[in-house]
């Protein structure tokens, strides 16, 4: 069955979008701001913090970058108006980084002004290695304007520990994740255990300094190891949080973290660009295909489709 799930996950991009939509639904909050806010409100009610992300990347026109900039600014307005507990995450290629780094910086600073207006927070996501230096430079500029901004570093990159040491301070807020892009072995660890070890060491390095660590992983071994390390070092809960992607099935473990009083934040993507994102998630977790198929057939037998 696992081979079938993997096979179907690979084939899904070849099918019409209407066919793929049931497989995408667990990972994406919908296409509209209204749907995303409803999901965020429900997660808040269950005790989770949220970060919202408008799906998309690699835009190639200035006008498109301005449209995305303004969409994020309006999203801050909506978060405040609805009273949901949510920050925002964004990618710089979605704001024009491939066109001109100066354009991306101008756009993200405009979004950051909205975060400042509402005393909210902005997370600048990390993309593949050609953009790493530009992203960290823009992050530093943003941090000089407003402290409520954070970066992302990827544990599979060999440079990550050095980047942490260069950035670590009381103003340093970083999400540590494993990394999803294909990278050259000279730039990134390829071995699963090496990536896991570097992830753990990266978080520990942040917390041994003065920074704030957002621990973004579904790897239970990493979560257990870092939870024990945090407890052994008696770290204050205002120094870290745990993060997970919307729809990834580790709910019971997240509930245990909540029960201990830890902040758990769910990354909630939404928007018209749902298809490519969902296909990536299904390829990473092909067992979900079988789970969704089982539920589709169950609902059909019950007359719900």
The Cα–Cα gap between 163 and 176 comes to 12
- Look up 175 and say whether it is catalytic: yes
Q: Please state whether beta strands 49-54 and 86-90 pair in parallel, antiparallel, or not at all (unpaired).
A: parallel
The Cα–Cα gap between 195 and 237 comes to 25
Catalytic pick among 53, 69, 123, 125: 125
Sign of CA dihedral 182, 9, 3, 291: positive
Catalytic pick among 69, 123, 143, 175: 175
Q: Which of 152, 102, 107 is nearest to 127 (CA)?
A: 152
Other beta carbons less than 10 A from residue 165's beta carbon: 11
Please check whether residue 286 is in contact with residue 9, taking contact to mean a CB–CB distance below 8 angstroms.
Answer: yes
Tokens of 250: 């580790």
Four-CA torsion 132, 137, 141, 146, nearest 10 degrees: 30
- Token pair 């990278």: residue: 183
The Cα–Cα gap between 195 and 187 comes to 12
- Look up 116 and say whether it is catalytic: no
* Residues acting as catalytic residues: 125, 175
């Amino acid at each position: 069955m696992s081979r079938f799930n993997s096979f179907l996950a690979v084939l899904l991009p070849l099918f019409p979008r209407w066919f793929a939509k049931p497989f995408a639904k667990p990972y994406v909050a919908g296409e509209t701001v209204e749907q995303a806010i409803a999901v965020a409100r429900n997660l808040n009610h269950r005790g989770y913090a949220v970060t919202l992300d408008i799906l998309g990347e690699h835009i190639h026109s200035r006008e498109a970058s301005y449209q995305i900039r303004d969409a994020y600014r309006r999203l801050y307005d909506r978060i405040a108006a609805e009273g949901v507990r949510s920050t925002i995450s964004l990618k710089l290629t979605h704001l024009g980084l491939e066109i001109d780094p100066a354009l991306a910086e101008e756009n993200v600073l405009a979004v950051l002004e909205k975060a400042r207006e509402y005393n909210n927070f902005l997370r600048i996501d990390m993309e593949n290695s050609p953009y790493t230096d530009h992203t960290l430079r823009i992050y530093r500029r943003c941090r000089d304007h407003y402290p409520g901004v954070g970066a992302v570093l990827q544990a599979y990159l060999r440079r990550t520990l050095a980047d942490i040491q260069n950035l670590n301070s009381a103003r340093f807020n970083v999400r540590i994740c494993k990394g999803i892009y294909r990278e050259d072995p000279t730039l990134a660890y390829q071995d699963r255990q090496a990536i896991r070890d570097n992830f753990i060491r990266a978080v520990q390095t942040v917390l041994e300094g003065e920074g704030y660590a957002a621990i973004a992983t579904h790897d239970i071994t990493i979560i257990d190891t870092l939870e024990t390390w945090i407890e052994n070092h008696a770290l204050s809960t205002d120094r870290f949080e745990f993060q997970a992607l919307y729809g990834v099935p580790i709910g019971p473990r997240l509930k245990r973290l909540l029960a201990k009083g830890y902040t758990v934040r769910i990354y909630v993507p939404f928007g018209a660009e749902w298809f490519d994102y969902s296909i990536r998630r299904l390829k990473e977790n092909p067992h979900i295909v079988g789970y969704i198929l089982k539920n589709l057939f169950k609902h059909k037998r019950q007359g719900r489709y």
